Every structure is written in structure tokens, then in C-alpha cells.
């Protein structure tokens, strides 16, 4: 009847009764902690690399607009500010092979970075 009412507590030692669920999970976990440089490992980038090589973004330059301090309607002060916006409204992607020289440069930079990381290990 105690189990039904939610009052049943199995006999435990004093040390294990203070153990939290987090403690039990950490003790049972076999995962290693995240270390510096994990984001640069091959397994994270291997899935992204083919997509980045196949569909490169077409350059979309940023335009910088400067608005100087002025009076709106001759009465209301407007502070000066700078804003940045893209030249084209949408991001365009090149068809496979349209920007071959950029792909070759990207592959070279990727392989240089990978060999430098492997040499440091």
C-alpha cells in the first residue's frame, strides 16, 4: 500500500541517499569531456565540405550607408548612424562548376589547415 501512495522508499545507506540523479548519471557516463579544438576535427566538417564545394555562394557585397546627424522636418533631431546591408536581397548560389577557381582555393585552404592540425598533434 505504501508503494501505491508514493511513500515507499527502499532501504539505502546514508551516502547513497545523498547522491543526486546527476551524480549517478556522471558516474555511469563514458563520454569524454569536450576539449579545445574538437570543433576542428574531421568528423564535424566532413559532412559540410561536399555541400560547400558543390554550391558556392555568389558574392554579395555589403553596402555601407552613413546617415549624418540632421533635423527631420526641420525640427526633430536625428542622431547620425551607420548601417550595412547587402547589395542583393537574396543569397544566390552558383551551379556546380561555375566558380571553379574559388573551389580550388577553398580546397587548398582546407587541406592546408587540416595538415597543420595533423602536424600539431
Domain residue limits, the chain: 50-119
Residue 18 pLDDT grade (very low, low, confident, very high; cuts 50, 70, 90) = confident
Q: pLDDT value at position 94?
A: 79
- Structure-model confidence comparison of residues 35 and 66, the more confident one: 66
Q: pLDDT value at position 25?
A: 72
pTM summary value: 0.33
pLDDT, tens digit (0-9, with 9 covering 90-100), for 50-97 = 655 667 778 888 899 999 999 999 999 999 999 998 898 888 887 777
Q: Are 87 and 61 in contact (CB under 8 A)?
A: yes
Nearest alpha carbon to residue 121 among 33, 42, 48: 42
Q: Are 64 and 53 in contact (CB under 8 A)?
A: no
Amino acid at each position: 500500500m505504501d508503494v501505491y501512495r508514493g511513500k515507499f522508499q527502499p532501504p539505502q545507506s546514508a551516502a547513497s541517499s545523498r547522491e543526486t540523479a546527476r551524480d549517478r548519471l556522471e558516474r555511469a557516463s563514458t563520454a569524454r569531456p569536450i576539449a579545445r579544438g574538437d570543433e576542428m576535427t574531421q568528423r564535424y566538417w566532413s559532412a559540410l565540405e561536399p555541400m560547400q564545394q558543390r554550391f558556392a555562394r555568389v558574392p554579395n557585397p555589403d553596402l555601407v550607408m552613413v546617415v549624418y546627424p540632421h533635423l527631420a522636418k526641420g525640427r526633430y533631431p536625428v542622431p547620425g548612424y551607420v548601417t550595412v546591408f547587402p547589395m542583393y536581397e537574396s543569397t544566390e548560389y552558383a551551379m556546380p562548376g561555375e566558380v571553379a577557381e574559388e573551389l580550388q582555393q577553398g580546397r587548398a585552404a582546407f587541406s592546408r589547415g587540416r595538415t597543420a592540425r595533423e602536424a600539431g598533434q
